[in-house]
A = this chain, B = another copy of it.
């Protein structure tokens, strides 16, 4: 379907114009609304006369940096597994997450830090902006290889708004706890992406099938992403929790949960593999399910055993999902899920929400002592029983599922607008559509330097 030159030029200009437009808009909104908060502003900080060590920066910045690494290195490289889509995987992650950080500062700031006509920012806003970017990247995983960068920016534009709205309803209106985002980040991001992918269903995707797999080195690059996600996940789940007693158990629970999901992923991958062989796709993804599954409950008194059990279950379910459910998802439900986000973020996110229901329902004053105030403030104030909190957690799960399904479907319709630049079915999973791609090893055919060449060195 070769278009007229004019349409072609129009398509070429979509990405630059959209970048400039979005950047201009957020810059204006920043100028009008965004201000330093009282821990970041020189005058306000000194006016309050704190000691330096009290600045929230020192409590949260190291965790922020770990989260920041997960978003850009972790997600970016995890998606490099495709043989010819490495530039796009890491590059479009970079672009769409950078935009999401700005845009979600505005959207989340409006919901959570809007006082006196201004949004006040500091390290906590930075962490939450990165969290929102994480949800956008999870959705990106579902449509990886089948969307252009302008489409991805539009997806982020919509998704960030719905993320902020969903989070506000869930956490602020319903009083649901979800520090590490099993519901708000993982389930929301996954089902948003899956709904969107359903609308963008390509019956002729077969034409690009030869590019859909990995090659040896692309799988190693992807393991960089996996390992950085895995090691820093304890920081992810603990970064936004209460100082002191909140962050410590959140990190510890996540740490143990991930070890268990790793063991169960290796076990299940070998069990269902041909001749008992391990599958890199399982290791790269399902081993991370332990981080997702304790996203809601990591800050609770889950117990170290509970963390192991949860991680084990999540790794098992996720691995089986890759093996048995992903093919059905495509063939029966017409959802093409490139990275299998349903297995890692979708199912493990829902499991994590249910685990949160259970652990919240078991909360007692004895188990939490004065710490109850920070984990379950409604219980501490006597406004809710543990069962009531559990019911809120359970009911809350439907909020992100609804926001994600409806929002993702709307997003899909938006991205199907015919004038948007999208790769044709035969050019999916191919960097060359959007990038100048150098040749591969062109020089190596020449072999090692010849002796006479090296002689000239002397």
Contact = CB atoms under 8 A, between A and B. Distances in A.
A126 B94 CA distance: 30
Contacts of A458: 2-3, 5, 7-8, 11
Given A98-B263, A121-B304, A126-B252, A280 B227 contact: no
Given A244-B45, A248-B40, A308 B26 contact: yes
Nearest to A444: B440
Contact of A45 (B80, B215, B227, B371): B371
A44 interface: yes
Interface stretch (A81-89, A346-354, A396-404, A409-417): A81-89
B369 A43 contact: yes
Interface string A244-273: 110111011001101110111011101101
Interface in A81-103: 83-84, 86-87, 90-91, 94-95, 98-99, 101-102
A213 interface: yes
A136 to B, nearest CB: 13
Contact of A276 (B11, B260, B270): B11
Interface stretch (A164-172, A174-182, A382-390, A448-456): A448-456
A358 interface: no
A12 to B, nearest CB: 3
Contacts of A449: 427, 430, 432-433
B215 A438 contact: yes
Contacts of A157: none
A405 interface: no
A457 B424 contact: yes
Interface string A42-53: 111111001111
A251 B16 contact: no
A173 interface: no
A304 B448 CA distance: 43
A129 to B, nearest CB: 9
Given A149-B266, A433-B454, 17 more contacts: A13-B271, A16-B276, A20-B264, A20-B267, A40-B245, A42-B301, A42-B369, A43-B369, A45-B371, A46-B370, A51-B244, A65-B234, A86-B216, A91-B283, A98-B258, A102-B256, A433-B449
